[in-house]
Amino acid sequence: MQADYVIVGAGSAGCAMAYRLSEAGHSVLVIEHGGTDAGPFIQMPGALSYPMNMKMYDWGYRTEPEPHLNNRRLAAPRGKVIGGSSSINGMVYVRGHARDFDHWRDEGATGWGYADVLPYYKRLENWTDAGHGGDPDWRGHDGPLHVTRGQMANPLTRAFIEAGSQAGYPVTPDYNGEQQEGFAPFEMTVHKGQRWSAANAYLKPALKSGKCDVIRGLAGRVVFEDGRAIGVEVTRKGRQEIIRANAEVILSASAFNSPKLLMLSGIGPAAHLSEHGIDVIADRPGVGANLQDHLEVYVQMAASQPVSLYKYWNLPGKALVGLTWLLGRTGPGATNQFESCGFIRSAAGVDYPDLQFHFLPIAVRYDGKAAAEGHGYQAHVGPMRSESRGHVTLNSADPAAPPKIFFNYMSCDSDWRDFRRAIRLTREVFAQDAFAPFSKHEIQPGADMQSDDQLDDFIREHAESAYHPCGTCRMGRADDPRSVVDPQGRVIGVEGLRVADSSVFPRIPNGNLNAPSIMVGEKMADHVLDRTLPADNAQAWIHPEWQTAQR
């Protein structure tokens, strides 16, 4: 029960770390509380609304009452399964904008600028352009993670990109390449019709190497001797035992569970730890702070033609989709249905996109409930860089107790301004000629919801998390009191312990978080191995008139 490296969490970053460390010849043990990812609910991309709502695969966390959202408690799913959240997510692949990572660097995460992370994106990708265009020089072609584009068979999916163009926005051949800004085909982590999670891409090959193994159990705390992490206390089969690390312990347990584990282990805000009777090993006020997320609303339209995916939203339809997928990994079940998207700036003077659209050719919620109107379509939209910050704290010193999650959503005036703009700009796109053959009426917010106050009421009642939590073990300079880890991922104040997952993000990047989480796992593995890929100074596109034009 020991290895060179003990990794807590078989999620996006943890699987990538396990693969790279074992590939370099080290023994690795991965501790995962969840079980197998086998079965169609996870492996069939079209079934994505199921696993994130199943206790078997999800930690089942909820936020504290959010005061600016009518005191609602929002779902905060995280994967409790091999592959972590990459096994229950929407499979959307977005690297983030170059300026996101330059901001990380400028905030004290030295060596994490765009030039530093771009080589790692290329290393992890196995990109197939599917004939849609894009410059292959910006992409990776032989990495473990397959990235593909949908067939865009549904006319609504194509209409969304056309409508964006008609509204005056650019169409970009590859938002993950030189130019993010604009409307584009969406990319997904799907390979030959199957979800290509971090487990399929990284962990399963690592397990075959003989250098890596997975231990099922609940990690309770990191064990220290003389200020150095020497292992992890795990509860499994009703017994506590210590899994020992010869070299290092690495936490890749999510933006909720990594700070929780640090606090249970005596690393965090001293006063908070003392409240729970936990001996303080390192007083780090940043542990659990800086919590960020993307909040979004669905702007839903009823369709005038039966062209949406609603035709499958019944028992025979779902059975047909499932059977087609089981027999040949084809049909509607072989895609996540997020096949077109947009990245735009909310106003002149914003230097790079701060709004993202996920377009879906059906009017449906994340919990799988379809709109009563039947056929429809929707765009998920929300601000990418909210100024609101929340925190993760302990409910108790019991490792089995869930953490206390408080996002403090919509606590800044700028959030409300940006959200109203997001809804109005979405309506403008849906009003273009490309949607004229399909448009019937607006389901939500509803055509009568026009004033700022009406939109604010709608946001309070209907805004949902996009499930992109991050920032709670902030990476930065070792002398910055906000920092939890240094730019090599080492926890400040102790030895032999690192964090590698979305919790280390200094600020939330622009887009879905799975790709940057895997990139962090790839790059942190190189920091552990004391090596680094040479920088790539390719220059990303910025709108030449961003200071004076919104599009």
DSSP 440-472: EEEEETTTT--SHHHHHHHHHHH-EE-S--B-T
φ, ψ of residue 269 to 5 degrees: the values are -65, 120
Binding-site residue ranges for FAD: 81, 89-92
Weakest-pLDDT range from 45-54, 254-263, 534-543 = 45-54
Strand partners, 432: none
Quote the pLDDT of residue 365: 74
Task: Evaluate whether 69 touches 23 at the Cβ level (below 8 Å).
Answer: no
Total number of residues shown for the chain: 551
Rounded Cα distance between 360 and 513, Å, is 19
Which helix (H) or strand (E) is 214 found in, with range?
strand 212-216
Complete domains list, the chain, with CATH: 1-59+74-146+188-291+469-535 (3.50.50.60), 151-185+295-383+411-462 (3.30.410.40)
From the number of C-beta atoms within 10 Å of its C-beta (0-12, 13-18, 19+), residue 195 rates as buried
Rounded Cα distance between 426 and 214, Å, is 45
pLDDT tier, 156 (very low <50, low <70, confident <90, very high otherwise): very high
Mean pLDDT of all residues in 119-143: 89
98-106 helix and 114-124 helix, angle to the nearest 10 degrees:
130
From the number of C-beta atoms within 10 Å of its C-beta (0-12, 13-18, 19+), residue 127 rates as buried
pLDDT above 70 covers what percent of the chain? 99
**Contacting residues for 228 by C-beta, under 8 A, at least 6 apart:** 494, 495, 496
The per-residue b/e assignment along 209-231, b for 16 or more CB within 10 angstroms, e otherwise, is eebbebbbbebbbbbbeeeebbb
Rounded Cα distance between 84 and 78, Å, is 7
Quote the pLDDT of residue 132: 66
From the number of C-beta atoms within 10 Å of its C-beta (0-12, 13-18, 19+), residue 452 rates as exposed
The string of pLDDT tens digits covering residues 462-476 is: 999 999 999 999 999
Indicate the Cα dihedral angle 182, 451, 382, 447, nearest 10°.
Answer: -70
The string of pLDDT tens digits covering residues 181-211 is: 999 999 999 999 999 999 999 999 999 999 9
Rounded Cα distance between 392 and 291, Å, is 7
Quote the pLDDT of residue 17: 98
pLDDT tier, 134 (very low <50, low <70, confident <90, very high otherwise): confident
pLDDT tier, 373 (very low <50, low <70, confident <90, very high otherwise): confident
Helix (H, G, I), strand (E, B) or coil at 183: strand
Residue with tokens 């680094």: 532
468 is catalytic: yes
Quote the pLDDT of residue 512: 98
**0.85 cut: is pTM over it?**
yes
Weakest-pLDDT range from 46-50, 115-119, 192-196 = 46-50
Task: Evaluate whether 246 touches 4 at the Cβ level (below 8 Å).
Answer: yes
Rounded Cα distance between 310 and 471, Å, is 37
Indicate the Cα dihedral angle 10, 14, 18, 19, nearest 10°.
Answer: 100
Which helix (H) or strand (E) is 179 found in, with range?
none
- The residue type at 262: L
Pairing of strands 187-188, 145-149: antiparallel
pLDDT tier, 329 (very low <50, low <70, confident <90, very high otherwise): very high
pLDDT tier, 53 (very low <50, low <70, confident <90, very high otherwise): confident
Rounded Cα distance between 172 and 109, Å, is 30
What is the DSSP annotation of 166-202?
HTT--B-S-TTTT--SEEEE-EESEETTEE--HIIII
Greater pLDDT, 368 or 446: 446
Helix (H, G, I), strand (E, B) or coil at 353: coil
Rounded Cα distance between 371 and 214, Å, is 41
Mean pLDDT of all residues in 121-140: 87
H-only helix segments in 385-440: 413-430
Quote the pLDDT of residue 366: 65
**Contacting residues for 387 by C-beta, under 8 A, at least 6 apart:** 412, 414, 415
Residue 370 has pLDDT above 80, yes or no: no
Quote the pLDDT of residue 313: 86
Both tokens assigned to 2: 């020991």
Check 97, 103, 146, 468 and give the catalytic one: 468
Helix (H, G, I), strand (E, B) or coil at 434: helix
Instruction: State the number of CA atoms in the 13 A half-sphere of 231 facing the CB.
Output: 11
Pairing of strands 404-406, 391-393: antiparallel
From the number of C-beta atoms within 10 Å of its C-beta (0-12, 13-18, 19+), residue 541 rates as middle
From the number of C-beta atoms within 10 Å of its C-beta (0-12, 13-18, 19+), residue 385 rates as buried
pLDDT tier, 364 (very low <50, low <70, confident <90, very high otherwise): confident
Q: Average per-residue pLDDT in the chain?
A: 96
Binding-site residue ranges: 81, 89-92
Rounded Cα distance between 449 and 242, Å, is 57
pLDDT tier, 131 (very low <50, low <70, confident <90, very high otherwise): low
Mean pLDDT of all residues in 213-241: 97
